[in-house]
Amino acid sequence: MSRPFRPGEAVWVELCTPHPERAEAFYGALLGWTVRAERLGATTYRMCGVAGRDVAGISDAAALHGGRPRGWLTYFAVDDVAASARQAVALGGELVTPPRYLPAAGTGAAVVDPFGAAFGLYQGESRAGVQALNSVGALCWNELDTGEPARAVAYYRTLFGYTTRQRGDAPTARPYTLLMLDDVPVAGVLELDNEWPNLIPSKWITYFAVADLDDALARVAALGGTPTVGPVDSPHGRLHLIKDPGGHTLCLIQLEGGLRPAPDSCDPAVTR
């Protein structure tokens, strides 16, 4: 099998929720996802797609992660999930879901970093990761919001081998750091306006592309979600943070060009 994602790239996103059936209805109506059920042990994993391409998953948080974490979880590609999990813990993180083989996919694990942000590690086998990037309804960016930007960046640099670059065109006065692989930006780190470190737990934010932000926000409200912060005019399009009906935060963006370059496995027909 080809390996289109490099270690350190965000390759998958999963909503961990105690009410997966409600989430399926909300995101299907908001982002146009179709959902198919896949058995995962004693539970059901909801595989979400756009135009026949897998873009995200919805899991029962209690069944898959013992109730931790909840919300959107970003998985990063690794070559050896067991070794990466050990390193993540040795650097100060907490392993909340030990490496587990997922049939028809690969092996995944979940970690909470030293500052409270949950993330996943994924060693792909039959499923490399998302099959679309930057298209409507699909993943386009992953961002760490944290009150401890310097220490958090050091943690992820050591774990994934990133280089960094400060972004001068960020749509906020707060400092923004790009995490890079071979001079290609793969994720961002936004410094929270947080006077006391860790008063606000760090969180990985998942960005999804929408065709029309105003229309999407109206649908969010009609479907029981809540627009929270925005709209913000960014160099890559207007964006808005929202909470879904379960209280889980994500970002919607009316994308103008791609935020991440798409690997070979993402069909150019479904990416911009």
Q: Say if residue 265 is exposed, middle or buried (CB neighbours under 10 Å; 0-12, 13-18, 19+).
A: buried
Q: Say if residue 223 is exposed, middle or buried (CB neighbours under 10 Å; 0-12, 13-18, 19+).
A: middle
Rounded to the nearest 10°, the torsion over CA 70, 71, 76, 78 is 20
If DSSP codes are grouped into helix, strand and coil, which group holds residue 142?
strand
Please answer whether residues 54 and 47 qualify as being in contact, where contact means their C-beta atoms are separated by less than 8 angstroms. Answer: yes
Q: What is the pLDDT of residue 196?
A: 54
pLDDT digits (tens, 9 = 90+) for 175-200: 899 999 998 999 999 998 765 555 56
pTM: 0.90
What stretches in the chain show pLDDT beneath 70? Answer: 1-3, 41, 168-173, 194-200, 262-272
pLDDT digits (tens, 9 = 90+) for 74-126: 999 999 999 999 999 999 999 999 998 877 788 999 999 999 999 999 998 87
Q: What is the pLDDT of residue 2?
A: 40
Q: Which tokens sit at 255? A: 């994308």
Residues 6+ apart with CB under 8 A from 191: 146, 147, 149, 174, 175, 176
